[in-house]
Amino acid sequence: MLNRAKLADTKMGKASHIGFILLILVAFAFPINSARADVGPTSFSGKVNGKSNSGKIDGKKKQQENQQIEKVEAKEKPAPAKKQAKVDKSTAVKKKVKAAEAEESAEPKPWFDLGTIEEQLVRDTFQIHPRFRGEYTLDDNVLLESADEKMDSIFREIPGVAITIPFLDHHVKADYQAAFEQFIKFPRENTVDQHFKSEVALNFTDMYVRGGQSISHTSSRSGTTFTERVPRFESNTESLLGYKFNRFTVEGGYDHFYRSYDNTPMKGLNYSARKFHDRLLMDLTPSGKTKIFVEHALTSYNYWKDASRDGTGNEFLAGITGSFFPKTTLYSKFGFEHIEYEHNKDPNNFVAEVGALYKPLAKTTIDLGWVSDVQQATYATTTAYKEDKLFVRLRQGLTEKLSAESNFAYTRQKYDELATPVPGLPKSVRSDNLLTTDVKLLYRFNKWVSGDIQYQLNRRDSNTSVFDFTNNLMTVGLTSEI
């Protein structure tokens, strides 16, 4: 019995030791799970005997959630500079490859797509802008006659192109335009005019250089000097050098102009003019927007086949320019010009130029001015005429695409010498009054295409009635420019 009791005690002792060890393991396991589940309380609804696994599954879920949070936090941390640079570079390469693949897979744009053309023609260092204008004009006095007026329809095609090459603060520009005129009833009046202009501008810290050349071959009627078709070639070259120091600017330049007539009867009026000019300007405001200036010009006129028309002109002027009032820019200069001819009268003439640009509203612009100067004459034996011109221009935007423009100009021309206007009439001092006015509506269809309709009235009243005329024109045009 004693041995049996000892054996039972021994078994119970072993069982108690095993139970104690299990109790300790359970006690440690519970706080460990609670510590891992720091985002919330642990659900532990399983039975003690372990038949239910819900407590174990919830613990695994919490562990996976914690690992996911750690991954997100690791992603949010900034990568080292070298590693980030490598990532950016590889990303940029991938983007370029994708863009190239997309470009290859994209369908080609048609040749007439204006957006594509513009992308090809405009660059940072090179720009080319082709243009074309078509016109139809109904003219009630195509020959500008004082009597027996003739009406005709005129079609014009005017292609052109402008090129700009900028480099640093400098640029080079060139522009070419041709105009083809076709008359329905008077095909002998058909003509082709050509015009070319170029410009160079060099800008340095305190110095600038300008140069320009314009060439034209035309037979257009101006309604002033030319009322008939007079084919002629004209060339004008301009150059200017300027230097800035403190509030002062000094400019000096040389211009050369010459005109050559195609017809033999007019070749005696071929001439050239060489002009040396200089100007001194002073800024009146720190911004440099308002300046006063004095200028001088020495011009020599040389007629190749008629020395009696040769002369030398001296011109002295002083003026002011700038923004004196809000929304208004003013320009004015006054002086006199003395022209000394070889054999004719030496006139002293008052010369002036006054202009104002006023913009009262965002879509409204008013431009007006007055010019008084001396022009070379092609009338009979006269050498020059005095011209005074007053003009006004109004531009008004009506809608986003529709705008209106109106022009008015009055010109008075007075010849200083007696001359015979036409054979059989007595000598007289010619005096003309010219009026030009027009109104135009312009509609812009898109960025490249616009259309317009215009009415224009030209009238000349002369003290010699054979030079009178009245001219009414109605024009419809379509312009495209890229």
Q: How many C-beta atoms lie closer than 10 Å to residue 410's C-beta? A: 15
**pLDDT(51) > 60:** no
- The pLDDT assigned to 178 comes to 97
Measured distance CA(102)–CA(98) in Å, rounded: 6
**pLDDT(391) > 60:** yes
**Between helices 54-76 and 2-36, what is the axis angle to 10°?**
30
- The pLDDT assigned to 450 comes to 97
Reading the block at residue 161, the tokens are 């192109």
**What distance separates the 2 farthest-apart alpha carbons in the chain?**
177
347 Cα distance to chain centroid: 42
Question: Mean pLDDT for the chain?
Answer: 80
Measured distance CA(249)–CA(291) in Å, rounded: 10
- The pLDDT assigned to 193 comes to 96
8 Å CB contact between 276 and 315: no
Percent of residues, the chain, with pLDDT higher than 90: 53
Per DSSP, helices labelled H in 46-171 are 54-76, 81-105, 114-121
Could you give phi then psi for residue 105, rounded to 5 degrees?
-80, -20
**pLDDT(215) > 80:** yes
- The pLDDT assigned to 67 comes to 58
8 Å CB contact between 216 and 193: yes
Q: Which residues contact 325 (CB under 8 A, 6 or more apart)?
A: none
Percent of residues, the chain, with pLDDT higher than 70: 72
> Could you read off the pLDDT of 405-451 as tens digits, one per residue?
999 999 999 987 777 776 777 788 889 999 999 999 999 999 899 99
Per DSSP, helices labelled H in 346-446 are none
Q: Which of 161, 216, 213 is nearest to 193 (CA)?
A: 216
Whole-model pTM above 0.75? no
Measured distance CA(201)–CA(238) in Å, rounded: 12
Burial class of residue 430, CB neighbours in 10 A (0-12, 13-18, 19+): buried
Per DSSP, helices labelled H in 370-457 are none
Q: Indicate the SS3 state at residue 115.
A: helix
> Could you read off the pLDDT of 249-285 as tens digits, one per residue?
999 999 999 999 988 788 888 999 999 999 999 999 8
Q: Which residues contact 426 (CB under 8 A, 6 or more apart)?
A: 420
How do the domains of the chain map onto residue ranges? 129-481
Please compute, for residue 280, the number of CA atoms within 13 A of its CA located in the half-sphere on the CB side: 5
Is domain 129-481 classified as CATH 3.40.1350? no
* Residue 295 to residues 288, 309, 315, 334, 376, Cα–Cα distance (Å): 18, 26, 8, 10, 21
Reading the block at residue 372, the tokens are 């008084």
